[in-house]
Chain A
């Protein structure tokens, strides 16, 4: 079971780059890494996913080192509206023993 660990909270100023790291030392071979954003009273929203190396989309980048024991979500230039809780999700959907496991979440606070 891939246990995940994230910082509880982070603070940033608007316009800065924010990097949030998730530790998943027991990640299995078939496991994927996915990041979600959650606002109060809403369900989580998909941001990005990856298996290894670097993935980039229009809102974020995901860096995964060769050993895959951690991953870093990078938000390039945050704004006030990026204030939310960010979760990493590790696991696979091939029906093997590896179960989808959410991290504890990182509460990001963006200020002016």
Chain B
């Protein structure tokens, strides 16, 4: 398996623009997580899904952030409108029902909002 795939790897956008980050989890995994990492706040869990259903979205910063998982092999994290403080590395991770705490992380998307 190729592991967790994220795209794009880098995104530079202007404030106010819509940003969509994409994730393809490992085939057969039941859990999908979205994290954000910054120097100031470290690694933060934004939302996670189990069998495509959002379970905990309490980490989503505000209404500008939304996440979807239309099927078992694809998820998106959307920011609309984007702001400079959203600049961070966004990681997607997945895990299986048998080893749900053993998360496999993708390479991340580095987002810069100017």
Q: Taking beta carbons and an 8 Å cutoff, which residues of A are in contact with B?
A: 32, 34, 36, 41-46, 49, 87, 89, 93, 95, 99-105
Contact = CB atoms under 8 A, between A and B. Distances in A.
Interface in B37-86: 42-45, 48, 50, 55-56, 58-59
A102 B43 contact: yes
A102 B104 CA distance: 15
Interface residues of B, number: 25
Contacts of B104: 46
A100 B93 contact: no
B76 to A, nearest CB: 18
B101 A43 contact: no
B45 A102 contact: yes
Given A36-B103, A43-B106, A46-B104, 12 more contacts: A43-B4, A43-B105, A44-B91, A44-B93, A44-B103, A46-B102, A49-B102, A95-B55, A99-B59, A100-B48, A102-B35, A102-B43
